[in-house]
Structure 1
Amino acid sequence: MGKAAGEDRVRYELAPGAVVAVAGARSQAPQRAYVARADGTVEEISVTAAEDRIDPAGTARRAWRRRCSRVGLGERPFRFSAALGHGYEADTVYDWAGEEYVAACVRATARCVWLRAVTYEEAVSLGVA
């Protein structure tokens, strides 16, 4: 005999304001998050909002990481082909893919540039994060 509708749900009592993040069975990263309301119901919130509620001190750092991630840059330099006379210079920070001041040029030749994401610490020192 099968389960009745809703019998497969687990119920927990949560304090108002408690945040719950849920990851899939084969994932370590949460895909959904919820916050408990004072009336005992739960409201779905974004994973980003959940992170910010759990660790408010890290909000700016995570926002910077997402900004760099949106443009496809990481910590390690990546080589890009460039047209002759491209104008990129090593040790200079550039706008990239619609985001301001996210690309640090670590090397430039006549035909290639190596770019990496500006670190959060660098962004703070530049006054852009």
Structure 2
Amino acid sequence: MLRLSKDYMMDTWWRSKDGMIDPSRTATPVLAIPAWEQACEAVLEGDRLALGARFCPVEKADGDGRARYELAPGTVVAVASARSSSPQRAYAVEADGTVAEIPLVEAEDRIDPAGGARRAWRRRCIRAGLTEKPTRFTFQRHSYEVGVVYDWAGEDYVAVVTRAGPVCVWARAVTYEEAVSLGLA
């Protein structure tokens, strides 16, 4: 009786007799990651990518130290180290059966495409170092006015001044709803 090697069986596409890829016969897509990492369903908690239900490997780590997971097309996977509660990488299983690493931002957008603009605004405010809670900044001289939206730390129109003194300014991030109403987002 003939047997196929494990590597041949883990191939995403079956090969024909001449060794060429035969797309008419597909195998289940397989994600192989180091055994010390966990593969989980990618979910959103609030607006951030998080670890959902953990996937069970179909093949435990062998000599190469990698665990293998069979996944359905369209699945978005978040990968983290065994003791971590936040994802470090994300993978997507495409319709053609390929498994590709994608940026965490793209994983968020694949899970919730409608919230992409809101998450992009949040990232802009974070890059400027602002939160929705006012923060005090000290300046020698300034001309900031309360209730006015300003550019901040290289980002256009992300800060609203809530209070201004002679040398201190309190500013917070413009919320997404405020940005939409002002035509900024």
The answer to whether the superposition gives a TM-score over 0.5 is yes
Letter in 2 for 1:4: G
How much has 1:23 moved relative to structure 2? 2.2
More strand by share: 2
Q: Distance in 2 between matches of 1:59 and 1:24?
A: 27
1:1-129 alignment runs, 5 A limit:
4-5=63-64, 8-84=65-141, 86-129=142-185
Q: Are 1:68 and 1:102, in contact at CA under 8 Å, matched by a contact in 2? A: yes
The SS at the match of 1:59 is helix
Any idea what the Cα deviations from partners look like across 1:35-63, whole Å, max 9, x if unmatched?
11334331000000000000111111110
Letter in 2 for 1:41: T
TM-score of the superposition, structure 2-length normalised? Answer: 0.63
Q: Distance in 2 between matches of 1:37 and 1:16?
A: 6
The SS at the match of 2:116 is helix
Q: Distance in 2 between matches of 1:118 and 1:70?
A: 13
Q: Distance in 2 between matches of 1:67 and 1:26?
A: 30
User: Which region of structure 1 is more displaced relative to structure 2, 119-128 or 12-21?
Assistant: 12-21
More helix by share: 1
Give the root-mean-square deviation of aligned CA atoms.
Answer: 1.4
TM-score of the superposition, structure 1-length normalised? Answer: 0.89
How much has 1:65 moved relative to structure 2? 0.5
Number of aligned pairs? 124
How much has 1:11 moved relative to structure 2? 2.1
